[in-house]
């Protein structure tokens, strides 16, 4: 007898669109790290960093008009987007549906 094992849900991707030249982007990257380390959430997402200088094609594909921008991709579709987060509280509120 063969038992069908349902495929596991794909881990959501958290795409961080940023600029390597921006101090604000570096600060937001630090805020993001703090949020994901709290309450052991570091394994919740597959985090992808996309620098606008290196991958302008991806910024165009995701229609990113400003950096930093966070995008959650779930089941191959954009589930949520946050432009220009100001701090940990903004990021934590944005990611609340996925965090423990």
- Bridge partners of residue 18, in order along the sequence: 51
Tell me the mean pLDDT in the region 38-47. 80
Q: Dump pLDDT digits (tens) for 14-31.
A: 999 999 999 999 999 999
H/E element, 91: helix 88-95
Q: Work out the mean pLDDT of the chain and round it to a whole number.
A: 89
Query: Does the 13-95 domain belong in CATH 3.40.30.10?
Result: yes
- Bridge partners of residue 80, in order along the sequence: 72
pLDDT at 2: 44
């Amino acid at each position: 007898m063969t038992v069908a094992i349902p495929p596991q849900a794909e881990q959501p991707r958290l795409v961080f669109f940023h600029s390597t030249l921006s101090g604000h982007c570096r600060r937001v990257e630090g805020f993001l790290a703090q949020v994901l380390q709290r309450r052991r959430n570091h394994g919740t997402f597959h985090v992808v960093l996309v620098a606008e200088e290196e991958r302008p094609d991806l910024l165009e594909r995701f229609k990113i008009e400003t950096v930093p921008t966070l995008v959650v991709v779930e089941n191959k579709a954009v589930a949520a987007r946050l432009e220009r987060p100001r701090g940990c509280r903004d990021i934590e509120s944005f990611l609340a549906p996925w965090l423990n």
